[in-house]
Structures are given as structure tokens and as C-alpha cells.
Amino acid sequence: MADSTQRVERTIQLRRADTGDARLLAQLGARLFEQAFGSANTPEDMRMYLEGAFSVAIQTEELGDTERMTWIAEDAGKAAVGYVMLRRGTRSDGVVGGSTAEIQRVYVDQAWHGQHVGEALINACVEQARAWHCDVLWLAVWDRNARAIRFYEKMGFRAVGSQTFTLGSDVQQDIVMSRAPS
């Protein structure tokens, strides 16, 4: 008897976000951040962080910043399934280079994990960092997020330092990772 199991390939498209996407990103960002980290943090700390990081006003400001670029990953029906934000000119401990770009957020809906959405989002950042003539691309990842650390290592990032991240009232440790955009 033939195996009737088939792998279904799902496709996504990336599009550049603009200020008109502020409400979408506020909702998507809060939902995906809580999906990724909600179970590992207290509800109060999560609520405080989400209110401070994902308001429509903050998203509008970030999307209007000429030193940032944001891409939204959409499925075939145009539903947002992930996004990434890149910012030019930031630094952290261990990041060495003349011109830097930081991947500030990269989140993918758990239903899309393993579907190469994260790779597509990181690759958009790599291409933009090249266009900006950056010599270093970097990010910070929670030191307790082993799955993300493995993914970033697969994408060529290596640990170069650490920094703190405050979620509500909880001070956490991030690993700073970097790579050349070439």
C-alpha cells in the first residue's frame, strides 16, 4: 500500500512595511512575542512589556524611522505570519565594525516554524545590510532560547558578547551574536 502522507509546501511573500502597517505590526508583534515568550514569563511582566513595546504609536514611529526597515511575511491569502525589523548604526558589547546593522525583531508564527520563513526574513536583512554597506550584522537573543540560538548559528551568526533585556520588571540576559553580511 502506498504512503498517502505528503509534505505540503507553504509559500510566503515578503513585503516592506510602511507607516500604514503600524496597527498590523502592533497586533502581530504583541501576539508573536507573547506566543514565543509568554509561558516563560509572568503575566504581569509580559503585560508591562507588551504595552510598552507594541503600541500603534511606537510602531508608527519605528516604521517612519529612516534608519530602520521592516518586512512582513505573508501567506498566500495575505495574512501576516511573521516579520523582521532591521536598524542601521546600533552597537552592543562585542559588536566590532565600522558600519553596523541590528536585527531588532524577528518573529514567526509557531504554525510556520520549519517553513523557511525565518530564513527569508534574515536574508532580507542580509541583503539590506549589504545595500547599506554595513560590515557587521548583529542581533541579541535570550540566553534561554536554545532553538533561536541554533537557528541563528545556522544562519552564520556567532556569539560575541552579552547584554541585558528588561521584560516588565525582570532583567534577563541576551547573547549578542554577529556576522558579516557577505
Residue 146 included in any domain: yes
169-180 average pLDDT score = 96
3-state secondary structure the chain: CCCCCCCCCCCCEEEECCHHHHHHHHHHHHHHHHHHHHHHCCHHHHHHHHHHHCCHHHHHHHHHCCCEEEEEEECCCCCEEEEEEEEECCCCCCCCCCCEEEEEEEEECHHHCCCCHHHHHHHHHHHHHHHCCCCEEEEEEECCCHHHHHHHHHCCCEEEEEEEEEECCEEEEEEEEEECCC
Residue 140 included in any domain: yes
19-30 average pLDDT score = 97
- Grid cell locating 182: 557577505
Count of structural domains within the chain: 1
Q: In angstroms, rounded to a whole number, what is the distance separating the alpha carbons of residues 98 and 89?
A: 9
- Grid cell locating 33: 512575542
Q: Residue 5 — pLDDT band, cuts 50, 70, 90?
A: very low
Residue 105 included in any domain: yes
163-180 average pLDDT score = 96
Residue 3 included in any domain: no
pTM for the full model? 0.91
Residue 4 included in any domain: no
On the question of pLDDT at 1 being above 70, the answer is no
- Domain hosting 18: range is 13-179
Residue 6 included in any domain: no
Residue 2 included in any domain: no
* Nearest C-alpha neighbor of 38 from the set 124, 173, 167: 167
Residue 1 included in any domain: no
- Whether residue 129 contacts residue 181, with contact meaning beta carbons closer than 8 Å, is answered with yes
Count other Cβ atoms within 10 Å, centred on residue 64: 11
| Domain CATH code at residue 121 | 3.40.630.30
* Nearest C-alpha neighbor of 156 from the set 135, 134, 180: 180
| Maximum distance among all Cα pairs of the chain, rounded to whole angstroms | 61
What is the per-residue pLDDT for 176? 98
